[in-house]
């Protein structure tokens, strides 16, 4: 079967309304053309004040293997804000350094890559027409964003073109510039309130946030909106609708822009294939609020509120509710408590898997962590290791979870080359999918990444629920790392790295939990020979070397699901439970141990020989009454061995 085209996408803060509309367009066109979409999503604003957190979020972009992508769409506008362009520059440098594939930017150029723009001019012409025709305004202010912003030029063009079409003059002194944020609207309002500027008939704002800031500041000063001043916004945000004085706003046609981006990619990749055509009526973008004085669009208001992520008293009898993200359900879910009470890495990962119902709908969820993610001494701030492991793979088919036991995958098959990005990308599937790649880190320390896989036809997009859910995951993983380190301190012998007696007790519990009655339980006891002689004649440093050498040899012959212990100053245990071939397995282990010790003696070239007396015992679990009897029996044989060694030395 022919491999699907895979389109990459860089999009930060995907839950914001602008990014949501762009994703609508990308998903619709990818579904139409049969393309897969891999969206790499830093879940943070590009001007986040905590730079370490920001850096770690944007590190997800380092996972992108451009050789596997056919083209890249960059949602570049959210990469800048409030004068901070560091994230923008980071993406630009990444593309220049590593990307040789076609790149399409949206609404803001990056270097010399091709850029497609939202048709803001048509939208602002429609807003201007509404203010002129419906409200008969003559004295109109225009509040724009930064004067150096290309988007501002488009929005001003729509206003000026509509005025010119009607033969109306535009007074440049009535055009004001800001930063698209609440503060710009409030600043203009203060100039009106102070009397520096006369009250206009209307203010057309370049964004909803500026319109809200302006409206609220005027109302607070006793100036009526819309009776004294009409205010309009742009972007159709939820904030505009639910403001105390709801703002008349307009929905930008970001969807069409995104669709045109995929169309352009199709022209480049498949020039012989036809392009889809979708007709839209731009006039449908106007939504009426209280701020312009027209009858309120209650239908739109109710629709906006009904789509709110935070809702009390849901109808939990409605089956569709379980396929919709809900911030109320997240905050009331006790997810944090469930993650906090986990006592081991396995329990933590299992709990994370069980909480994925809060971010439905999706087809599959993957949590891929670096193999040493539990190591608190290792900090990874840039890029990803050569391999990672899929620790959680949680799949849904027709609404049913198909592998609930597969929370913690420690099988070697779950390890994969990071250059592949995700195994699932390379498997054949009969429908197009979107893969949302999400960063997993704590502060500036990258632990891995997560992936949400969804059919493009379902139109599933990341929301604020997912962002907050992921933050809970970050904190849970870090807490598990710290607890694991503390447990190591209490259960691991500092000198040798083997378990101490407390660690042995907990390790034995785990071994027996997974054992069958037909399994065998064995213990090998190693006792270092001549430790006092080495200490007295060569010093305690050499004695420590002898101890760590024996410990190292014991550790090297310890297989998975077996435990090695420093039981005393110079005594060590190797314990296992499983389907062993009686004594032959143990004899082989002891032979391997002696070979390793021999190698250490030859390479160290010490004035003394490192050796240990060894004894072992093995019994079937069904015959055991006390595990200590096996250890005691092994110890007894070790003692006999030691006596024989002393006799030979004499």
Percent over 70 (pLDDT), the chain = 90
The answer to whether residues 560 and 598 touch, using CB atoms and an 8 Å cutoff, is no
- Please determine, for residue 484, whether its predicted confidence score (pLDDT) is greater than 50: yes
Range 135-158 average pLDDT: 90
In the prediction, which pLDDT does 306 show?
A: 61
Which among 210-224, 457-471, 606-620 has the top mean pLDDT?
210-224
- What number of other Cβ atoms are within 10 A of residue 644's Cβ? 11
Range 298-304 average pLDDT: 68
User: CATH 3.40.50.2300 residue ranges in the chain?
Assistant: 6-114+359-460, 120-252+281-306
- Please determine, for residue 409, whether its predicted confidence score (pLDDT) is greater than 50: no
In the prediction, which pLDDT does 300 show?
A: 67
- Please determine, for residue 650, whether its predicted confidence score (pLDDT) is greater than 80: no
pLDDT digits over 537-592, tens only?
999 999 999 999 999 999 999 988 889 999 988 999 999 888 877 777 888 889 99
* Least confident interval from 13-17, 147-151, 159-163, 596-600: 147-151
In the prediction, which pLDDT does 412 show?
A: 59
pLDDT mean across residues, the chain: 88
Strands 6-10 and 415-417: unpaired
Total residues found in the chain within this entry: 650
Give the residue from 350, 163, 155, 169 showing the smallest Cα distance to 233. Answer: 155
In the prediction, which pLDDT does 383 show?
A: 96
Does pTM top 0.95 for this prediction? no
Give the residue from 370, 504, 333 showing the smallest Cα distance to 450. Answer: 370
Q: Which residues of 375-403 are buried (b: 16+ CB within 10 A; e: fewer)?
A: eeeeebeeebeeebbbbbbbbbeeeeeee
Enumerate residues 6+ apart whose C-beta is below 8 A from 498: 492, 551, 554, 555, 564, 565, 566, 572
* Interatomic CA distance for residues 403 and 360, integer angstroms: 16
In the prediction, which pLDDT does 202 show?
A: 97
pLDDT range class, residue 595, cuts 50, 70, 90: very high
> Which of the two residues, 133 and 398, has the higher pLDDT score?
133
In the prediction, which pLDDT does 321 show?
A: 45
Q: How far is CA 568 from the centre of its chain?
A: 44
| 226 preceded by a cis bond (ω within 30 of 0) | yes
- Position of tokens 């694991």? 484
In the prediction, which pLDDT does 14 show?
A: 95
Range 618-624 average pLDDT: 81
* Least confident interval from 98-102, 205-209, 472-476, 635-639: 635-639
Helix, strand, or coil here: 390? strand
CATH of region 120-252+281-306, choose from 3.30.70.330, 2.30.30.60, 3.40.50.1000, 3.40.50.2300? 3.40.50.2300
Beta bridge partners of 115: 105
User: CATH 3.30.70.270 residue ranges in the chain?
Assistant: 501-649
CATH of region 501-649, choose from 3.40.50.720, 3.30.465.10, 3.30.70.270, 3.40.50.620? 3.30.70.270
Supply the DSSP string of 407-431, one letter for each residue: SS--SGGGEEEGGGS-GGGGS--SS
User: What are the backbone dihedrals phi and psi of residue 562, each rounded to the nearest 5 degrees, phi first?
Assistant: -120, 160
DSSP state, 4? Answer: P
- Please determine, for residue 399, whether its predicted confidence score (pLDDT) is greater than 60: no
In the prediction, which pLDDT does 411 show?
A: 55
- Please determine, for residue 635, whether its predicted confidence score (pLDDT) is greater than 50: yes
- The CATH number given to 6-114+359-460 is 3.40.50.2300
- Please determine, for residue 515, whether its predicted confidence score (pLDDT) is greater than 70: yes
In the prediction, which pLDDT does 538 show?
A: 94
* Interatomic CA distance for residues 36 and 177, integer angstroms: 40
**Nearest 10 degrees: CA dihedral of 633, 639, 644, 645?**
130
- Please determine, for residue 638, whether its predicted confidence score (pLDDT) is greater than 70: yes
In the prediction, which pLDDT does 40 show?
A: 98
DSSP state, 77? Answer: G
DSSP state, 247? Answer: P
Strands 175-177 and 140-144: parallel
pLDDT digits over 308-341, tens only?
555 544 444 445 544 455 667 777 788 989 998 9
């Amino acid at each position: 079967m022919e491999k699907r085209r895979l389109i990459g996408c860089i999009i930060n803060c995907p839950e914001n309304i602008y990014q949501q509309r762009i994703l609508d367009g990308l998903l619709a066109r990818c579904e139409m053309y049969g393309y897969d979409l891999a969206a790499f999503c830093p879940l943070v604003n590009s001007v986040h004040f905590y730079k370490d957190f920001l850096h770690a979020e944007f590190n997800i972009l380092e996972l992108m293997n451009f050789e596997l992508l056919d083209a890249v769409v960059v949602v570049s506008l959210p990469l800048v804000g409030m004068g901070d362009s560091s994230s923008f520059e980071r993406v630009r440098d990444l593309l220049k350094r590593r990307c040789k594939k076609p790149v399409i930017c949206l609404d803001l150029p990056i270097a010399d890559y091709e850029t497609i723009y939202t048709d803001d001019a048509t939208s602002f012409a429609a807003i201007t027409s509404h203010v002129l025709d419906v409200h008969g305004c003559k004295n109109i202010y225009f509040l724009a964003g930064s004067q150096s912003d290309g988007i501002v030029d488009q929005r001003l063009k729509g206003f000026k073109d509509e005025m010119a079409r009607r033969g109306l003059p535009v007074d440049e002194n009535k055009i004001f510039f800001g930063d698209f944020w609440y503060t710009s609207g409030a600043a203009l309002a203060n100039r009106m309130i102070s009397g520096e500027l006369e009250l206009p008939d209307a203010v057309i704002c370049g964004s909803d946030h500026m319109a809200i800031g302006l409206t609220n500041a005027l109302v607070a000063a006793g100036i009526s909106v819309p009776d004294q001043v009409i205010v309009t916004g742009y972007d159709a945000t939820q904030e505009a609708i639910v403001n105390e004085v709801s703002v008349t706003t307009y929905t930008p046609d970001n969807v069409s822009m995104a669709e045109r981006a995929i169309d352009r990619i199709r022209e480049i990749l498949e020039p012989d294939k036809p392009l889809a055509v979708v007709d839209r009526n731009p006039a449908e973008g106007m939504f009426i609020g209280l701020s312009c004085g027209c009858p309120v669009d209650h239908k739109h208001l109710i629709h906006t509120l009904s789509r709110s992520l935070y809702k009390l008293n849901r109808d939990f009898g409605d089956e569709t509710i379980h396929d919709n993200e809900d911030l109320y359900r997240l905050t009331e879910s006790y997810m944090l408590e469930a993650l906090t009470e986990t006592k081991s890495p396995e329990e933590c990962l299992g709990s994370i898997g069980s909480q994925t119902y809060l971010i439905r709908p999706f087809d599959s969820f993957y949590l891929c962590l670096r193999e040493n993610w539990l190591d608190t001494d290792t900090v990874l701030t840039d890029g990803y290791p050569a391999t990672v492991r899929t620790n959680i793979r949680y799949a849904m088919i027709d609404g049913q979870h198909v592998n609930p036991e597969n929370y913690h995958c420690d099988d070697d098959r779950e390890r994969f080359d990071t250059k592949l990005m995700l195994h699932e990308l390379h498997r054949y599937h009969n429908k197009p999918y979107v893969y949302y790649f999400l960063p997993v880190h704590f502060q500036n320390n990258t632990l891995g990444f997560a992936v949400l896989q969804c059919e493009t036809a379902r139109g599933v997009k990341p929301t604020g629920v997912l962002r907050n859910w992921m933050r809970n995951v970050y904190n849970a993983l870090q807490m598990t790392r710290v607890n694991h380190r503390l447990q190591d301190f209490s259960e691991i012998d500092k000198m040798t790295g083997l378990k101490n007696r407390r660690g042995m007790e907990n390790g034995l519990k785990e071994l027996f939990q997974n054992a069958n009655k037909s399994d065998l339980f064995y213990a090998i006891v190693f006792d270092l020979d001549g430790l006092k002689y080495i200490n007295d004649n060569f010093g305690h440093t050499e004695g420590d070397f002898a101890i760590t050498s024996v410990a190292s040899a014991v550790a090297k012959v310890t297989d998975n699901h077996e435990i090695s212990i420093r039981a005393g100053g110079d005594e060590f245990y190797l314990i296992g439970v499983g389907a062993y071939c009686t004594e032959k397995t143990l004899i082989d282990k002891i032979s391997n141990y002696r070979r390793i010790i021999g190698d250490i003696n030859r390479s160290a070239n010490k004035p003394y020989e490192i050796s240990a007396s060894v004894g072992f015992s093995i019994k079937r679990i069904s015959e055991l009454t006390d595990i200590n009897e096996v250890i005691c029996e092994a110890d007894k044989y070790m003692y006999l061995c030691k006596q024989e060694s002393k006799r030979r030395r004499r």
